[in-house]
Chain A
């Protein structure tokens, strides 16, 4: 009875192996090159503009003297995205719940899933235009207003939230669900006490990723919230936002304002980075075994 003889690995195969491993490592490093370049460029061009005034003053719009800061842009972005989140998260999770709880076999659910998929590919500007023609042109509640920008962003974020929430909800162990059912709990209670709490960290992660996406979008805001220089908290007016401020400032003839645009870009990346880190920390700390 001859033992299973393991053949020698030929030099050719060994070489191929080594080359391919090198290729994969190279690809990873290659992927990181743009990241380093972008961050480096932002720091180089924008770091000089970052000081106290940058965060505490509004863009002055003045051609001379003080350029001011980007306070209204930062706060505007936060407020617009916050409203978009409040709209998109409940609806998104609700639809995902529908798809997982009631729609695993239904054809209607398949159609909904399909269309949500399609929504992920719609250009961000088309969402903005959709809101423009339905809400802005009809002068519903004002002309260009911040809340309409939020609605456009919410449309953008919805498919991301629905998709990620669906994945997370499906990961809730069937055994937990079945145990609750066996105890006679009605469906709503199962969802409230078992499914949602178990999936909560994953849902938060997915929502934060959608929020990070929303923060970086310019196009949906162009025709909805437009822009403003001054600080305003009212959602029924035009409001400033970081992506818009960056886009407009970069075009300025004044180099100090251009530098401020890059600094604002740096700020935006930092804000999104922080959101991503929070999402990661939440998902890591609460992995339900």
Chain B
């Protein structure tokens, strides 16, 4: 080995280093690993604390804490079905409204938008995330809710034949499940849109061009080449949005009406797990406080479940996507030829 081939660090080959010089590496690895362990420990500790504090609730009420329908603070009865139902309804409706709009927006911005407008428009959509949740909540209460009430009443009366979604027009209140879900949808829109945009941008140009070359219209190209490819990524984005929706506190407190009942209609008042914690924790004592921790625990578990499902779906989708896309293209080609 002549000198021209030796590395700059010395006359030893680069693969052999003194154990002393390995020290910083080992320290770094140890340091970073301990940070990761710290995070894990924090969450586990958090979880254990939640379980510990909510223990007495579950021993007193058992499973009816989650499924029973009677949240009565003054009588120390804590059956939290209204809370769970309210959380699921608002998050579900928020997803239903927010995700299609967000994905459609992302599609427009990546596929159809004139190049010059792309950056400013994307920036504007992202700006939705800059508004703090307390401002959304207050704006919802003082501006949006009263403005939408007549329209909500009209809708409820016109479509009263649809169970739950319609009907109840006369008892519609300004704060209800719908307005809370609507504002939630606005809040999750920027997140889902931003992630969808990232995902849509990774679709290989060949897939798109192949579809176009086969004579597909713009929309058909999106339907056949872009969407199937990005489906799992978009679902991932939707799950992030769902996580945000499940956990939103202040805006829900102000907009859902805080009524500890399961509302009979879309435009009735209800409650949610995060909202009840915010409202009642300050002065909760004893079993009441434990019940609020139990609500937090249920929320935690709910988030965990949602994440498990999302991850499983994403994992499954990414494996089959390439096969699916080409099959779709082939089918489309056959269709257009006939």
Contact = CB atoms under 8 A, between A and B. Distances in A.
Interface of A: 6-7, 9, 13-14, 16-17, 20-21, 23-25, 27-28, 30-32, 34-35, 37-38, 41-42, 91, 94-95, 97-99, 101-103, 108-109, 111-112, 114-126, 129-130, 133-134, 155, 158, 162, 182-184, 186-189, 191, 212, 215-219, 222-223, 243, 246-247, 250, 261, 265, 268-269, 272-273, 276, 280
Given A31-B105, A121-B303, A219 B35 contact: no
Interface string B108-134: 110111000000010111111111111
9 contacts: A9-B217, A17-B219, A20-B222, A118-B304, A129-B281, A158-B39, A183-B8, A186-B25, A272-B132
Sorted nearest first, the 7 A-B pairs with minimum C-beta distance are: A216-B132, A184-B14, A121-B243, A27-B104, A121-B303, A123-B247, A17-B217
Nearest to A13: B217
B40 A112 contact: yes
B35 A94 contact: yes
B53 interface: yes
Given A95-B32, A183-B8, 17 more contacts: A24-B104, A28-B104, A95-B36, A108-B36, A109-B36, A114-B307, A115-B40, A118-B304, A121-B244, A121-B307, A123-B296, A126-B299, A215-B132, A218-B133, A243-B134, A268-B135, A272-B130
Nearest to B43: A115
A142 B109 CA distance: 51
Nearest to A94: B35
A100 to B, nearest CB: 10
B138 A91 contact: no
B60 to A, nearest CB: 20
Contact of B24 (A14, A16, A116, A186): A186
Contact of B132 (A32, A116, A265, A276): A265
A152 B35 CA distance: 18
Interface in B1-46: 7-9, 14-15, 17, 21-22, 24-25, 27-29, 31-33, 35-36, 38-40, 42-43, 46
B249 A98 contact: no
Interface of B is mostly: helix
Interface residues of B, number: 91
B329 interface: no
B43 A37 contact: no
B274 interface: yes
Nearest to B100: A27
Contacts of A13: 217, 220
A35 B128 contact: yes
Interface of B: 7-9, 14-15, 17, 21-22, 24-25, 27-29, 31-33, 35-36, 38-40, 42-43, 46, 49, 53, 100-102, 104-105, 107-109, 111-113, 121, 123-136, 138-139, 142-144, 186, 189, 193, 215, 217-220, 222, 240, 242-244, 246-250, 273-274, 277-278, 281-282, 296, 299-300, 303-304, 306-307, 311, 336-337
Of the candidates B104, B107, B193, B277, the one having the most CB atoms from chain A within 10 angstroms of its own CB is B104
Given A212-B130, A268-B132, A121 B105 contact: no
B249 A219 contact: yes
Contacts of B274: 123, 125-126
Nearest to A250: B138
Contacts of B277: 123, 125-126, 129
A30 B104 CA distance: 10
B108 A25 contact: yes
A184 B53 CA distance: 53
A98 B33 contact: yes
Given A25-B108, A276-B126, A91 B38 contact: yes
Given A7-B336, A122-B300, A216 B112 contact: no
B17 A186 contact: yes
Given A99-B36, A129-B277, A31 B240 contact: no
Nearest to B194: A209
B124 A122 contact: no
A111 B40 contact: yes
B139 A35 contact: no
Contacts of B124: 32, 35
A94 B31 contact: yes
